[in-house]
């Protein structure tokens, strides 16, 4: 059986197929995102609300402060009402951002398609804790001479914990907690959108696939190519469907908060 996008026998090598589908995936994502953002602005009608107080005449510094508070308020309310799930959610977001954008292997992938991304290479997070251990103990030297320091990671000993291996462990734990919370909501017979399950289940599967590929489990080229290809393919499915799942809140959240700040602070009480 042949894949129509290339002569790739199914099950033998998913890696080149995944690379071929990356650009079409980005186009699909931008098409869906454009639709969502356009609908967001076109269908929104701001009602005029009479406020008892006015905030006109505030300084630019106060406006910036209020902008920060607008973004922070949702987290503050979440910490008060649901401290456990909110804390897990915030930590999960931080770990996910670090893995996607600063893990060394991912940075090379992004830089291939976006060359200026190479500027961030000094911030790369290593795959494992080995670099951090070498930087901390300084007890090992290379077997062969090298013009570069043996350990030249900008994070130094911090990479003992700030590395792809440990961050992946944390992300798997956070995702498992989040999915367990979603399942408990279903048990309580509360409604959950299909997009929530789609995004988080696929994300969990993708993280596990990436971890297995990076760890070379099983340790042979055949499985590595397929695991890496499957990891990229699942990521592409997530990206392509992102505008229609829970994951798109990462964009709508900022749009909503900017809109809230604009009408509540910049144009408060104005038609």
Query: What are the tens digits of pLDDT across the range 11-68?
Result: 467 888 898 899 999 999 999 999 888 887 777 665 555 454 555 566 777 777 887 8
Q: Is the dihedral of CA 199, 201, 164, 108 positive or negative?
A: negative
Of 57-66, 113-122, 163-172, minimum mean pLDDT range: 57-66
Please give the pLDDT value at position 246.
76
Strand-pair partners of 9:
2
Which has more confidence, 223 or 193? 223
Distance of CA 37 to the CA centre of its chain: 19
Confidence of residue 202 (pLDDT cuts 50, 70, 90): very high
- 237, HSE (Cβ side, Cα atoms, 13 Å): 15
Can you list the alpha helix ranges (DSSP code H) found in 43-163?
Answer: 60-81, 83-102, 104-113, 130-137
Please give the pLDDT value at position 166.
92
Please give the pLDDT value at position 211.
92
Please give the pLDDT value at position 119.
93
Confidence of residue 3 (pLDDT cuts 50, 70, 90): very low
Burial pattern 66-97, b for ≥16 Cβ within 10 A else e, equals ebeebeeeeeeeeeeeeeeebebbeebeebbe
Q: What is d(CA 183, CA 138) in angstroms, rounded to the nearest whole number?
A: 47
Give the 3-state secondary structure of residue 5.
Answer: coil
pTM confidence score:
0.78
């Amino acid at each position: 059986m042949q894949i129509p996008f290339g002569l790739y026998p199914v099950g033998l090598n998913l890696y080149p197929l995944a690379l071929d589908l990356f650009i079409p995936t980005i186009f699909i994502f931008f098409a869906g995102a454009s639709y969502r953002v356009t609908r967001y602005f076109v269908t929104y009608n701001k009602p005029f609300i009479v406020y008892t107080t006015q905030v006109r005449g505030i300084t630019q510094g106060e406006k910036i402060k209020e902008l920060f508070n607008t973004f922070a308020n949702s987290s503050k309310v979440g910490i008060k009402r649901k401290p456990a799930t909110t804390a897990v959610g915030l930590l999960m977001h931080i770990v996910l951002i670090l893995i996607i954008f600063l893990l060394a292997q991912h940075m090379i992938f992004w830089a291939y398609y976006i060359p200026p991304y190479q500027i961030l290479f000094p911030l790369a997070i290593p795959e494992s804790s080995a670099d951090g251990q070498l930087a901390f103990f300084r007890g090992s030297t290379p077997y062969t001479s090298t013009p570069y320091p043996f350990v030249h990671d900008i994070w130094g000993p911090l990479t003992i914990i700030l590395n792809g291996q440990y961050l992946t462990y944390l992300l798997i734990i956070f995702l498992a907690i989040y999915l367990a919370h979603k399942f408990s909501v279903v048990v309580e017979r509360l409604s959950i959108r299909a997009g929530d399950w789609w995004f988080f289940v696929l994300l969990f599967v993708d993280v596990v696939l990436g971890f297995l590929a990076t760890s070379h489990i099983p340790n042979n080229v055949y499985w590595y190519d397929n695991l890496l290809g499957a990891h990229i393919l699942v990521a592409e499915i997530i990206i392509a469907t992102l505008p229609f799942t829970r994951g798109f809140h990462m964009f709508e959240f900022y749009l909503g908060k900017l809109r809230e700040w604009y009408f509540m602070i910049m144009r408060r009480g104005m038609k």
